Amino acid sequence: MHKPEFDIKYKEHLKRKILDLKKKNNVLIVAHNYQRDEIQEISDITGDSYALACKVKEASQKIIVFCGVKFMAESAYMLSPDKTILLPVEEAGCPLADMVTVEKLREKKREYPSAAVVCYVNSTAHVKAESDICCTSSNAINVVKSLKQKQIIFVPDKNLGRYVSEHVRDKEIILWDGYCTVHMRLTADEVLKTKKLHPDAEFIAHPECREEVIALADYVGSTAGMIKYVKNSESKEFIIGTELGIIYKLQRDNPGKNFYVPTEQFICANMKLTTLGWLVRSLEKKVYKIEVPNDVTEKARKALEKMLAVS
């Protein structure tokens, strides 16, 4: 077992190495809000899927290391195919993204031929290519409102889709039976127990949570929305209804506020696969390079760019 002193020194060594390699190769490192604390600390930009998609497209650097999961790196590549997109851990996937396939989606489209397909960005490149427009948890409501079609096939997250349907009453939202395995772990009982322990705390939740959990929330939004809400709120205590990685930024930006978690199981194993060591390896060996076939890229990019055009 390593001594704590060794671990600290080793991490600092890795951080220096990352900074040197980044500068030497003119690399931009971006990280999702659910990444490990030390990964967020060493990154140039942190944010939710929507913010990172925008930043990568705008970036002047030609090499992007995307500390997240595969569907995010695919989206970055498709928006900027002239850039090299690296994913530090090849196995960093998303169970939610795997809950919808092209074949099943095509079947659903045949069942509802006049419906538009809104695809949550948490999906594979091939599924995006079969969709009319993508969305994130930040802009899902506005994306659905922007469409002229009255029937919407919403894939793959049923909880986000249900949340959208409550805010867009003039459209029929056809839900896919998919869900985030992390957010689905949180129960209303766990939230109520935590609220009892911290009666003055506001409960903020991600729209990927269960319907009964969302009903208890003082605020519902994406990770970017949560970060903004906490910063502007006069409250000093918050119960966090999303993956624990977000607490790093919340604590850093709000030193006078306290944060509580309703369950210790609020951890995405795939998001936590990226470590400083894997990041060093990615920079040194330029792995793992993410690419998407040209025909898929062409179709999926249209859906992504339509998403970016919606405020």
Residues 203 and 281 in one domain: no
Query: CA angle, corner 83, sides to 124 and 19, nearest 5?
Result: 105
Do residues 166 and 206 share a domain?
no
15/73 same-domain check: yes
For residues 237 and 308, which has the higher predicted lDDT (pLDDT)?
237
In a domain? residue 309: no
Instruction: Residue 234: give the domain boundaries.
Output: 183-260
| 112 lies in the same domain as 191 | no
Q: Are residues 31 and 56 in the same domain?
A: yes
295 domain-assigned? no
pTM across the whole model: 0.94
CB 193 within 8 A of CB 165: no
Kindly report the number of other CB atoms within 10 A of residue 96's CB atom. Answer: 23
Please check whether residue 301 lies inside any domain of the structure: no
For residues 35-47, give the mean pLDDT: 97
Examine the domain organization and report whether 111 and 124 are in the same domain.
yes
Which CATH number does the domain housing residue 201 bear? 3.40.50.10800
Whether 42 shows a pLDDT value over 80: the answer reads yes
| 223/228 Cα distance (integer angstroms) | 9
Inside any domain, residue 302: no
* Co-location of 77 and 133 in the same domain: no
Alpha carbon distance 184, 168 (integer Å): 23
Residues 169 and 214 in one domain: no
Residue 93 to residue 70: CA distance in whole angstroms: 5
Which of 163, 179, 195 terminates a domain? The answer is 179
Tell me: the pLDDT tens digits for 160-175? Answer: 999 999 999 999 999 9
Residue 182 confidence (pLDDT): 97
Give residues with Cβ within 8 angstroms of 86, minimum separation 6: 63, 64, 65, 66, 73, 282, 283, 286, 287, 288, 289, 290
Q: Are residues 205 and 224 in the same domain?
A: yes
Residue 2: band (very low, low, confident or very high) from pLDDT cuts 50, 70, 90: low
Count up the domains in the chain and report the number.
3
Burial of 6 from C-beta contacts in 10 A (0-12 / 13-18 / 19+): exposed
Q: Do 108 and 171 sit in the same domain of this protein?
A: yes
Residue pair 288/88 in contact (Cβ under 8 Å)? The answer is yes
Within 13 Å of residue 85, how many CA atoms lie on the same side as its CB? 28
Statement to judge: residues 131 and 208 lie in one domain: no
Same domain, 84 and 11: yes
